Amino acid sequence: MCHATRCARCCRFHRHPFTGARRRLTAGELAKDAGVTAQTASGHLRQLYEGGLIKVDAQGRHRYYSLASAPVGELLEQLLGAATQLGRHRTRPGPKDSQMRRARTCYDHMAGEIAVDLFDRMERAGLLTFSRTGLVLTCDGHGALQALGVSPFDLERSSRPTCRSCFDWSERRPHLAGQAGASLLRRFIDLQWVKRDGRALRVTVEGEKGFGRLFM
């Protein structure tokens, strides 16, 4: 099996359970969700564990698997994009997919159509800019987030980057990750613009209005 195919299968296997939330799941739960055999699941889990991408916690008779870190979740999200481009990714049919494409979580930040649109708006408005060191939240960007209700202390208290561009596997464009991306998602939830529905985010009536005018 070629490297690209193995990569695609791992991406497909971890699409919903791991990249959506900080959950701990058993091998059986992961196999059922991915629609693969227990043996296939075990093989993927072993490879990912040996690669340092996941961690395992034993409680009684059960072993629970979870992502090793936030950057790993973002990496898997980008690998999903590569798998889709290679034509190896299986799209689950039905209305759930439509909702996932519109708005969903990518580990601790927002992804999907709305997220990439907000990223584009922030760039056009001069709230985000690219420098030699990467993506930067400008002074105007800090002001815009504070006006929305995001505390500046929330952005400064973390050792992780304030901003990162994360490749959106469904839209083929970047959305905002890093501490700013995580803080924005928490704020959208506090404002009740979105509500969690598994990994998908359901946009409320207030959210439709809010996102329609945000960063314009």
Neighbours of 132 (CB within 10 A): 5
Note whether residue 29 is domain-resident.
yes
Evaluate whether 202 touches 114 at the Cβ level (below 8 Å).
no
Instruction: Return all residues near 84 (Cβ < 8 A) that are at least 6 apart.
Output: 169, 170
CATH number for the domain that contains residue 64 = 1.10.10.10
Residue 80 lies in a domain: yes
209 and 109: one domain? yes
One domain for residues 145 and 201: yes
In a domain, 90, yes or no: no
Q: Collapsing DSSP states into helix, strand and coil, what is residue 1? A: coil
Report yes or no on 9 lying in a domain.
yes
The rounded mean pLDDT for the chain is 81
What pLDDT, in 10s, does the model give residues 158-167? 778 999 999 8
Q: Does residue 16 form part of some domain?
A: yes
Same domain (yes/no): 78, 114: no
Same domain? 161 vs 200: yes
Residue 30 resides in a domain:
yes
Shared domain for 187 and 111, answered yes or no, is yes
Domain count, the chain: 2
Position 69 in a domain: yes
Dihedral sign for Cα atoms in the order 25, 27, 31, 36 = positive
Same domain as 77, residue 101: no
Question: Could you write out the three-class secondary structure of 98-161?
Answer: HHHHHCEEECCEEECHHHHHHHHHHHHCCCEEEECCEEEECHHHHHHHHHHCCCHHHHHCCCCC
**pLDDT at residue 84, as a whole number:** 58
Q: 117-121, 144-148, 167-171: lowest mean pLDDT where?
A: 167-171
125, part of any domain: yes
* 22: its two tokens: 């900080």
Q: Kindly state whether residues 101 and 165 are assigned to the same domain.
A: yes
Do 80 and 129 fall into the same domain?
Answer: no
Helices 178-190 and 139-148: crossing angle, nearest 10°? Answer: 20
* Sign of CA pseudo-dihedral 177, 178, 182, 183: negative
Q: Which of 59, 85, 111 is the last residue of a domain?
A: 85
Instruction: Decide which of 85, 110, 131 is a domain's last residue.
Output: 85
Q: Are 81 and 108 in a shared domain?
A: no
Question: Given this model, what pLDDT does residue 163 score?
Answer: 94
Range of the domain at 201: 95-213
Domain termination residue (choose one: 60, 85, 110)? 85
Residues 100 and 36 in one domain: no
pLDDT one-digit tens code per residue, 58-85? 877 778 888 887 777 777 767 766 665 6
